[in-house]
Amino acid sequence: MKAFILERYGKKSPLRLGEMPEPELREDEVLVKVHAASVNLLDAKIKSGEFKPLLPYCLPLILGHDVAGVVVKVGARVRRFKPGDAVYSRPDDFRIGAFAERIAIREDSLALKPETLTMEEAASVPLVGLTAWQALVEKANLRAGQKVFIQAGSGGVGTFAIQLAKHLGAFVATTTSTANVEWVKGLGADLVIDYKKEDFESVLKDYDVVLNSQDNATLVKSLRVLKPGGKLISISGPPDPAFAEAMGLPWFLKPVMRLLSSGVRKKAQGLGVGYSFLFMKASGSQLREITTLIDCSAIHPIVDRVFPFEETQEALAYVETGRAKGKVIVRIE
């Protein structure tokens, strides 16, 4: 099958279009013909080698963490899917590979595609949808009437998280650039701060939840906008000890995770607020919950650009610029 292949780590190492063996199908997996995949910063970070300590992939590697397509074959123990089903997924770590014509996905990480979405729209959802769900629903237990600060409102996670938080009944504040202020308000944000003109720390106060996706300086400032007992959930680090336990990292990495986050956890403790790191996990059951919200029009995905399969490298470069509004898609079928 045709695939875009990473042969060596490095920021300047290009993906190469070539032939790879079709993935081996395990008993609990489904073979999917890929129609569309979305491109995430996570792909760029893995390509650069930034995630090697946490995700030690063997090369050559096919990247791609979001997929929508059609089932062509199922493993012996698969019961929920059959050939011909239109599906979508964020494949499990170490089973990624959406930048290809076919991919094998664990049954428990797969869901039927929302009926109201095209393949391209569906491919934009899993990673950002699951990230927003696990941050706001699982970790934060966000409730109606609470206040949440979602950083980078025009980004992939931000556009989805704003809509989910509004569906949950929260008051939503976010940041974006001057050009996107009105556009982000249209997603449902109650308070939009133009980061080029204002410092969010001087505007926000007594928030229940912060979803942090920016650098360490922004994280530290974000701790100070929380009310006592508030929660900051970071998807950009630093990793914490709970993450090390959940990932089952080797014993020698656990003290490293503890050390990396010790400063932030100490600051949070001093302010009487909570800090936790989220590394999103695949989940077909949560995708089914998200599908319901999409099909009843509570949430709609935001797609910035669609690239042809042959331009996957260009799509990745575009994502790395940080200028995308919503998600960037590669059309494969």
Tens of pLDDT along 245-259? Answer: 877 777 777 788 888
Give the global pTM.
Answer: 0.96
Residue 325 has pLDDT above 90, yes or no: yes
Distance CA 89, CA 40 (A): 14
Element (H, E) at 173: strand 171-176
The pLDDT of residue 243:
79
Same domain, 10 and 39: yes
Q: Is 41 within 8 Å of 155 (Cβ atoms)?
A: no
The pLDDT of residue 254:
79
Same domain, 147 and 53: no
- Cα dist. 167→145, 161, 225, 236, 242 in Å? 11, 10, 23, 24, 29
User: At 44, which CATH number?
Assistant: 3.90.180.10
Six-digit token string for 150: 């979602």
Domain coverage including residue 143: 128-277
- Cα dist. 11→15, 241, 245 in Å? 11, 28, 29
Same domain, 133 and 77: no
If you count DSSP H runs as helices and E runs as strands, how many of each does the chain have, helices first? Answer: 10, 16
Same domain, 147 and 220: yes
Asked if residue 225 belongs to a domain, the reply is: yes
Of the listed ranges 215-219, 259-263, 272-276, the least confidently predicted one is 259-263
Nearest 5°: the CA angle 324, 5, 102 is 85
Tens of pLDDT, residues 171-219: 999 999 999 999 999 999 999 999 999 999 999 999 999 999 999 999 9
The pLDDT of residue 292:
98
Same domain, 157 and 30: no
Kind of pairing, strands 226-234 and 171-176? unpaired
Asked if residue 163 belongs to a domain, the reply is: yes
User: At 198, which CATH number?
Assistant: 3.40.50.720
Same domain, 8 and 142: no
The pLDDT of residue 182:
96
Tens of pLDDT, residues 152-170: 999 999 999 999 999 999 9
Question: What b/e readout covers 190-211, taking b as 16+ CB neighbours within 10 angstroms?
Answer: eebbebeeeebeeebeebbbbb
Which residue, 313, 325, 318, 321, is CA-closest to 99? 313
Number of domains in the chain: 2
Tens of pLDDT, residues 36-90: 999 999 999 999 999 888 888 999 999 999 999 999 999 999 999 999 999 999 9
The pLDDT of residue 148:
98
Distance CA 324, CA 144 (A): 30
Q: Is 69 within 8 Å of 119 (Cβ atoms)?
A: yes
> Residue 59: how many CB atoms within 10 A of its CB?
10
Residue 125 has pLDDT above 90, yes or no: yes
The pLDDT of residue 190:
98
Side chain identity at 58, as an amino acid letter? C
Tens of pLDDT, residues 225-242: 999 999 999 999 888 888
- Cα dist. 218→34, 195, 257 in Å? 37, 11, 20
